Structure 1
Amino acid sequence: MTKQPSREAELAELHGRIAELERRCTELDRLAHHDTLVPVPNRRGFLRQLEQTIARLKRYKDPAAVLFVDLDGLKMLNDSFGHSAGDAALVHVATLLTRGVRESDTVGRLGGDEFAVLLDHACEITAMDTAERLIDAIADADFIVDGRAVPLSVAIGFTLIEVDDTPAAILARADAAMYQGKAAA
């Protein structure tokens, strides 16, 4: 005759299983919403944060803006120095973007050489100043490949978030503003 586990032992085992499932769910959420290369949210994670910001804007009327950031010359960097150098440049830029904004702001990688920055509590002047500051910070930072300094630059466009906006409309406007800035340069 085998001894049945006590009720307390069964509960302890169930609590352990629940804790492990919660840990796995947290890890799956992180994998689904964070970029695998750079230490920022991926497109899905950024869009989730953007949707929350739109909801806050509707409720509290807090101004916010989105910057659309395009790393210039990534293909040439990859072709000249290899994809590991291109990957290092993406990590470098993501780090500089993150350091260059407030902790309450969100930097995300949309894909390829494109990033977005969500600026909470930001008016047009704040967005413009932040974009200019980030452009300068990236241009002024040392990026070294094979012992050589390689200049990096970004183009940034921005848009303010409006009450009835969708994430797609916001990103499209910010992207268009970025291309307008590139054409004017």
Structure 2
Amino acid sequence: MNDNRTTDPVALAAENATLRIAVAQLVERVAELEQIADTDTLTPLANRRCFLRELQRVARQVSRYGHSAAVLFIDVDGLKAINDTYGHSTGDRVLIHVARILRERVRGTDMVARIGGDEFGVLLERVDADAAREKALALSSAIADSPLDSIAVAVSIGMAPILPEDHDEATLALARADCDMYGTRREVRLSR
């Protein structure tokens, strides 16, 4: 067998240094790609993929340690009408505006994500249902009190606690929050 590898210590050290640089560059690139894969392309928020992974993690903690947590499902009201009236670039600005307000109004440990076209999710760790409802009302008010230019922006928010049994299928909590949001929206329409 003819082995063409060198045994020269200087050449080996140079080759080793070259390989270390290549590995470091690959590790950096993988981190960049993971960041891209977990980030919404319009807003500076996490995307649905990242949100669902974190929701699963929190659901396991709730199940294992008994921590309380909740998820908020947020829908921007009338985005289609905004797009139709002012154009899609304005609709995009509304989504960015809502994303900024949500991110600014939650704790650093909470997660805000854009989980669909005009839908956002907020993952609240270590909060009970009452505190989560208060946060939902505060977020809704903050958005309503902050029009974008002259455009009124409103959201509907549903809340669901993350239950210990959600550890196998954490998306059930998100589905419950979605249903709660539609119930809340229906109640607002009936009271007008």
What percent of counterpart residues are identical?
Answer: 43
Structure 1 match to 2:68: 63
The answer as to 2:17 corresponding to 1:12 is yes
The answer as to 2:184 corresponding to 1:184 is no
> Is the partner of 2:132 in helix, strand or coil?
helix
Most deviating of 22-31 and 113-122:
22-31
Structure 2 match to 1:160: 161
1:25-174 matches, within 5 Å, as 25-144=30-149, 149-165=150-166, 166-174=169-177
Distance between the aligned counterparts of 1:17 and 1:39, measured in 2?
Answer: 30
Aligned residues: 179
Give the Å deviation of 1:55.
1.6
RMSD after superposition: 1.2
Q: Provide Cα deviations, 1:8-27, integer angstroms capped at 9, x if missing partner.
A: 11111111111111111111
Q: Provide Cα deviations, 1:99-139, integer angstroms capped at 9, x if missing partner.
A: 11100000011110000100010101110100000000000
Aligned residue type for 1:156: I
Aligned residue type for 2:86: F
Distance between the aligned counterparts of 1:142 and 1:9, measured in 2?
Answer: 60
Give the Å deviation of 1:39.
0.7
TM-score by structure 1 length?
0.94
Uncovered stretches (5+) of structure 2, i.e. residues with no partner: 1-5
Aligned residue type for 2:186: A
| Larger CA Rg, structure 1 vs 2 | 2
Distance between the aligned counterparts of 1:167 and 1:69, measured in 2?
Answer: 17
- Whether the 8 Å CA contact 2:140–2:156 is kept in 1: the answer is yes
Aligned residue type for 1:171: L
Runs of 4+ deviating beyond 3 Å: none
Aligned residue type for 1:93: V
- Whether the 8 Å CA contact 2:55–2:171 is kept in 1: the answer is no
Aligned residue type for 1:139: A
> Is the partner of 2:109 in helix, strand or coil?
coil
Distance between the aligned counterparts of 1:9 and 1:59, measured in 2?
Answer: 50
Most deviating of 17-26 and 3-12:
3-12
Give the Å deviation of 1:57.
1.3
- Whether the 8 Å CA contact 2:77–2:155 is kept in 1: the answer is yes
Uncovered stretches (5+) of structure 1, i.e. residues with no partner: none
Distance between the aligned counterparts of 2:87 and 2:81, measured in 1?
Answer: 9
Give the Å deviation of 1:59.
2.1
Aligned residue type for 2:157: I
